[in-house]
Chains A and B, each alone.
Chain A
Amino acid sequence: MQPSEIISVNIWQIVVSLCNLVILFLIVKKFLYKPVCKMLKDRQELLEKQKEEARQNLEEAQSTKQELEKELEDAGQRAEEILAQATAQGQRRQEKITEDARAQADDIVRQAKVQAELVKKQAEAEIKAQIVEVSFTLGEKLIEREIKEEDHHQLIDDFISQIGDDTDEK
């Protein structure tokens, strides 16, 4: 086993080493470059797919959010409407009640007035009768003389009417 010269040219060695490089090129291409590139491409595709999905989901979520917001707004509006309606109704009812109450009160007052008038008239009549009686007895006793009944009545009536006027005025 002898070592060769340090600088020696052998064509077949050159050819073999050239083939070696070509073989290694094919090995690297088949076993390292292509699988890794394929994997990277797959990953890129997956990422893009996921991104697309995420974008779609986001869009959906946004549209849903908008819908919900719109619904919320509508609900608020409706609530306001209902509130306004209720307020108006309440006011109306209140007014009606007040009116009714007022009417009733007026009625009561009127009735009371009529009754009072009636009572007053009755009382007047009673008082008149009593006064006539009293004054008659009084007059008999005071004057102690016989007076014509007609004159007497005249006198008392005058007197009473005067009194009535006075009470009316008061």
Chain B
Amino acid sequence: MKAWKEGMSKLSDAVITQEKECVKINRGKKFLALDILYIAMMVLPIVTAITLKVLFTPASKGVTITGPLVYFRIPFIIQDFIITESQINSALVIITILGICLYLTHGLSIDPTLKRQHIAEIIVEKAKGLVSGNMGEAFGAFTSFIMAIMALSACSSLLSLFGLFPPTSDMNVVAGWSILVFGIITYYKLKCGPANYLKGFTEPVAILTPINIIGEFATPISMAFRHYGNVLSGVVVSVLVGSALQGLSAMLLSWAPAFIAGIPIFQIGIPAVLSVYFDLFSGLLQAFIFAMLTMLYVSGAFDPEGYLEYKRKKQEKKMKKQKIKNAK
């Protein structure tokens, strides 16, 4: 009985001290200042991007669909090193995501007192569940990589909601990601031994080797083109529909005086609907698809049985070498 009472008092004391600490954290001025800094980190990059866009976009004549603006062009080996709108926007997106991460994990405690902590927990747990569900528990370390891919892809595509150039509609950006994924896939295939990796191309029949090689390189290319094409097609369709609606409204109002005819009445609501589909839905879906394909390819590339066998053979070889050495 005595011990029980002591335990209860200890427990209640611990709870009280914890609550006090939480209150202290919430009321600290430093905490608030950091919060404001993180929110600024989230918002300012987008403002910067919009400012850059407004300042540097050249006046266009008619309907033009162009690639990203080139800010700097530095002569370099092989090709010029260019810094384009997509590079700048990607960097700004990274800063935004860093701000979101810092904001969400700010004031993290065992007893959640802040609502943002729940969001952070949900994100991490969902990502964990997705990765372990698609790749297996062994690939748990990939969770943060998948989260990064999803966040970068989704946020890049969502930049078009602000009227900015989405970096994902630049092929070079997505190509970089898919090449990285291809590198990871190859790394996991090579884990079973280089000989086995090369042998894998001649299966099931030796004649299919060229097709297998093409298939191998088709993976990153298809991933890059799928994502890039979807986002770019959204941009193209949006621009086309916008200009078509402008023309339509101008045609219908051609009888009216010039200042009325200039009002693009059809452009008021319809592009918003298109934007919801192409920018919001398609962007998020492509991010999800890219992450899913990454997970499937990487987990499919790794053959646990082959890996174990390869390791065993390697060990046997080592043992034999050691035996020979010992014999000498």
Asked if A98 is an interface residue, CB under 8 A from chain B, the answer is: no
Instruction: Select from chain B the residue with minimum beta-carbon distance to A15.
Output: B176
- Cα of A25 to Cα of B232 in the assembled complex, Å: 25
B68, B91, B170, B172: most-surrounded residue (chain A CB, <10 A): B172
Q: Are A21 and B149 in contact (CB-based, < 8 A)? A: yes
Instruction: Select from chain B the residue with minimum beta-carbon distance to A38.
Output: B108
- Cα of A99 to Cα of B149 in the assembled complex, Å: 108
Of A1, A7, A37, the residue contacting B171 (CB under 8 A) is: A7
Of B86, B98, B123, the residue contacting A27 (CB under 8 A) is: B98
The stretch among B69-77, B199-207, B242-250, B312-320 that forms the contact with chain A is: B69-77
Interface size on A, residues (CB 8 A): 47
Instruction: Select from chain B the residue with minimum beta-carbon distance to A6.
Output: B67
Q: What distance in Å separates the Cβ of A112 from its nearest Cβ neighbour in chain B?
A: 70
Instruction: Chain B residues near A35: list those with CB within 8 A.
Output: 105, 108
Asked if A11 is an interface residue, CB under 8 A from chain B, the answer is: yes
Proximity string of chain B (132-168) to chain A, C-beta cutoff 8 Å, 1 when within and 0 when not: 0000000000011101110110000000000000010
Instruction: Select from chain A the residue with minimum beta-carbon distance to B177.
Output: A21
Instruction: Chain A residues near B110: list those with CB within 8 A.
Output: 39, 42-43, 46
Asked if A22 is an interface residue, CB under 8 A from chain B, the answer is: yes
Of A5, A10, A18, A60, the residue contacting B79 (CB under 8 A) is: A10
- Cα of A16 to Cα of B173 in the assembled complex, Å: 8
Asked if B324 is an interface residue, CB under 8 A from chain A, the answer is: no
Of A6, A13, A31, A56, the residue contacting B82 (CB under 8 A) is: A13
Q: What distance in Å separates the Cβ of A145 from its nearest Cβ neighbour in chain B?
A: 118
- Cα of A118 to Cα of B79 in the assembled complex, Å: 161
Q: Are A32 and B56 in contact (CB-based, < 8 A)? A: no
Instruction: Select from chain A the residue with minimum beta-carbon distance to B181.
Output: A21
Interface size on B, residues (CB 8 A): 62
Of A20, A22, A25, A32, the residue contacting B105 (CB under 8 A) is: A32
Q: What distance in Å separates the Cβ of A48 from its nearest Cβ neighbour in chain B?
A: 12
Q: Are B78 and A11 in contact (CB-based, < 8 A)? A: yes
Of B1, B76, B121, B148, the residue contacting A21 (CB under 8 A) is: B148
Asked if A142 is an interface residue, CB under 8 A from chain B, the answer is: no
- Cα of A53 to Cα of B79 in the assembled complex, Å: 67
Of B121, B173, B177, the residue contacting A36 (CB under 8 A) is: B121
Asked if B94 is an interface residue, CB under 8 A from chain A, the answer is: yes
Asked if A167 is an interface residue, CB under 8 A from chain B, the answer is: no
Of B1, B66, B68, B145, the residue contacting A25 (CB under 8 A) is: B145
Asked if A121 is an interface residue, CB under 8 A from chain B, the answer is: no
- Cα of A35 to Cα of B124 in the assembled complex, Å: 10
Instruction: Chain A residues near B7: list those with CB within 8 A.
Output: 53, 56-57
Asked if A154 is an interface residue, CB under 8 A from chain B, the answer is: no
- Cα of A71 to Cα of B24 in the assembled complex, Å: 49
Q: Please list the residues of chain B having a beta carbon within 8 angstroms of any beta carbon in chain A.
A: 1, 3-4, 7-8, 11, 56, 58, 65-71, 76, 78-82, 84, 86-87, 90-91, 94, 97-98, 101-102, 104-105, 108-110, 120-121, 123-125, 127, 143-145, 147-149, 151-152, 167, 170-177, 179-180, 232
Can you list 17 contacts pairing A with B, beta carbon distance less than 8 Å? A3-B58, A3-B69, A4-B66, A4-B70, A9-B172, A10-B172, A13-B87, A13-B176, A14-B173, A17-B167, A17-B172, A32-B105, A32-B147, A33-B144, A40-B121, A43-B110, A64-B4
